[in-house]
Structure 1
């Protein structure tokens, strides 16, 4: 049984699976994987559809693949030159929402896995596919739900590869062995409203909050670590919501986002933010409330056997030695890292989330070959 990953990607693109809609994408994959001998289970939670598929004994060493079939909205439909859900192939290019991020990646690893299990029968090995419909959304009921279900049902992956686009410009040039953590902090400064002509009768929260965000923005969190660039802090909004020029407002708000490396934990950074806010509040004699959310902790899969295996497979099929990177935003690997060693490798991601998202079809075929070689070598 041989699956064409290009055709499968096109078929998946035709499934209008904008988060949280399943759109038929997981139904399509379920059918193909079941026919190939995978035991498939829908792990839906809330409005999110998820699929877990295993071939082989769950007690055997298990190579896992993770990806998502949900996509971001198309945006301005009139700006597209191709049907975003048409799956059109023209001049060696496949067009449509999800062509890069990441229906092509899911198609490539599903096709590679199906091809492998229909040709080989390793005595002590298993393949697991954990596919979610909630990566582009809140990500609370997607891969997290799959991992919760796996824990409750005695399912486990020994190592996992996430098929997100990882290459900036050239196929094969980069794989991810870790990701920075992400934290967003929301500050609300409260004073006393008053007339701007009589500032002594008011308590202006704006200078206090301005001082706080200035201190945070000028602070150097670290100088980087062995596998990570320096952590960053960005002020993303500062707002009083005050339309009047003669009123000192009683309240103003600011938000900062921190992308942090493995020199920090989210809890440590929140404690630092709380302490800075408390000091400024004391200095200016106002109240500052702080609320923070952690999207994910930083993590690193140390270079070793699994990282080497993936890197060697990439180089063998692309002729390019991949850089071992921790750059970029977050992915569902941030959840998997607590379950097993995880790395990411996928296509060139230049058009992801853009109007007229597209991918050269040769990259999809190449990606399937990389994944097939990884599976083959893993069970050799």
Structure 2
């Protein structure tokens, strides 16, 4: 006699509780691999993941997308029914100055209820959770009426060209829904994200002897100061939010007002001058200055709109400049809260936590946009201590890793069984 869906959920939930130490040890081991990107080398950590899945009866297939850039794909379940994709990235941003850490960033140490190390929040806590959930379902012999696919990618932190889009372009990963284990808050998976426009601006001057400045030469750095002042006005661009996304925008603004006090970013273009380089030495008038800029775009505006605005502002200054887009270029995108994968995740979070859950917009960008480009509904949910992401002393609560693993395991059951009954 087949078990009911609820009985299977109870069985799986009990198994997650019983094998918590396996999950935490897995996360710790993942952190111990210094998979910083750049430079990027997914080989060592992927071998560890391959071995873990193999021990749990799952065969991971390697896909080489570039030098030292390997994707892994694995699956469990049935070829019949729908397919659910769980996605995670193995790379982390560089740890930076080790002297500014209170602990070894690659120790994977557990202390006072916290998992410590680079990637703990972004996103080895979530990565451990999806690996553990899939392995557990396979090990328990749960007869899923559909397929659960793992897509483990190597380069999300540098734009993801050799990860999710590479797999999707080649048809190596397909699905009817997707969950990415990116960091989120406990009750609020992200159903959409802002767009992005990264660009490099180079202002050209003319060299001269520093002792004769400002009468000699044209100082590119001081001209860049004028340009940067104009770029700050990007925030003031009047963006008209389309009617169809106003509900999710309003919910997100309330959420951010309640939790972050950052609600204004939802409807504004943010602008960050991330790097600046110029000049050769103090007694030479600099003939060139270059900055890199990161803008995140709400619904209603495109990267091309931003670049045109920047050109207009710079032309008013009569500068000699080059403007070059690079890196992230995307428009804001989202998945409907009514989509089955969104409903499954939100309902499961509520069941696991006993609290109300709802989806919100993400104020940054991620691999989710690539899945939406291929009409695969997607959302993000993962363990995180948000203040430490990409910073020193990154960490995440152990209890959050366990909670998310429960959500991952139960969502797979809920989504695939619900899809089979439609």
Q: What is the aligned partner in structure 2 of residue 300 from structure 1?
A: 334
Name the SS of the counterpart of 1:302 in structure 2. Answer: coil
- SS for the counterpart of 2:69 is coil
Distance 1:89 1:217, change over 3 A: closer
SS in 2 for 1:101: helix
Match of 1:182 in 2: 196
Q: What SS does structure 2 have at the residue aligned with 1:326?
A: strand
Identify the residue that residue 75 of structure 1 maps to in structure 2: 96
TM-score under structure 2 normalisation? 0.75
Show the 5 A alignment for 1:276-287: 276-277=313-314, 279-280=315-316, 284=318, 286-287=319-320
Q: Which ranges of structure 2 fall in alignment gaps of 5 or more residues?
A: 1-11, 250-265, 418-422
Q: Does 1:346 align with 2:382?
A: yes
Q: CA deviation at 1:366?
A: 1.2
Output aligned runs, 1:318-337, within 5 Å: 318-337=353-372
Deviates more, 1:192-201 or 1:28-37: 192-201
Distance 1:58 1:134, change over 3 A: farther
- Work out whether 1:5 is the aligned partner of 2:23: yes
- Structure 1 CA distance for aligned equivalents of residues 102 and 158 of structure 2: 26
Aligned 8 A contact 2:270 2:295 in 1: yes
**Counterpart of 2:41 in 1: which secondary structure?**
coil
Hey, what's the Cα distance between the residues in 1 that align with 2:91 and 2:218?
48
Partner residue, 2:255: none
Task: Could you tell me which runs of 5 or more consecutive residues in structure 1 were left unpaired when the two chains were aligned.
Answer: none
2:268 corresponds, among 204, 217, 230, to: 230
Residue 134 of structure 1: how far off its partner (Å): 1.9
The answer to whether the 8 Å contact 2:279/2:287 transfers is no
The yes-or-no answer on 1:34 pairing with 2:54 is yes
Aligned pairs, how many? 367
Q: How does 1:1-380 map to 2 (within 5 A)?
A: 4-19=22-37, 20-22=40-42, 24-45=44-65, 46-56=67-77, 60-117=81-138, 118-123=140-145, 125-149=146-170, 151=171, 153=172, 155-167=173-185, 172-192=186-206, 210-219=225-234, 220-223=236-239, 225=241, 226=246, 227=249, 228-236=266-274, 240-241=278-279, 243=281, 250-277=287-314, 279-280=315-316, 284=318, 286-297=319-330, 298-305=332-339, 306-339=341-374, 340-350=376-386, 351-380=388-417
> For the residues of structure 1 that align with 2:103 and 2:56, how far apart are their CA atoms?
33
Which stretch shows the higher mean deviation, 11-20 or 332-341? 11-20
Given that 1:217 and 1:235 are in contact with CA atoms closer than 8 Å, whether structure 2 keeps it comes out as no
Moved more, 158-167 or 92-101: 92-101
Distance 1:28 1:254 in 2: 39
1:255/1:132 Cα in 2 relative to 1: closer, same or farther (>3 Å)? Answer: closer
8 Å CA contact 1:42–1:49 kept in 2: the answer is yes
Shift of 1:207: 7.1
* Other structure's SS at 2:342 match: helix
Give the secondary structure class of the aligned counterpart of 1:321.
coil
- Of 11-20 and 97-106, more deviation after overlay is shown by 11-20
1:52–1:146 contact (8 Å) kept in structure 2:
no
Taking the aligned partners of 1:202 and 1:77, their CA distance within structure 2 comes to: 41
Contact 1:54 1:128 in 2 (8 A): yes
Give the alignment's Cα RMSD to 1 decimal: 3.2
The alpha-carbon distance between structure 1 residues 296 and 59, as it changes in their structure 2 partners (threshold 3 A), is farther
Give, in whole Å, the separation in 1 of the partners of 2:391 and 2:226. 37
Q: In 2, are the aligned partners of 1:66 and 1:130 still within 8 Å (CA)?
A: yes
TM-fit CA distance, 1:370: 1.0
Q: Compare the two structures and name the one with the higher helix fraction.
A: 2
Moved more, 266-275 or 60-69: 266-275
Whole-angstrom distance in 1 between the partners of 2:404 and 2:365: 22
Distance 2:221 2:127 in 1: 49
CA contact (8 A) 1:43 1:145 kept: no
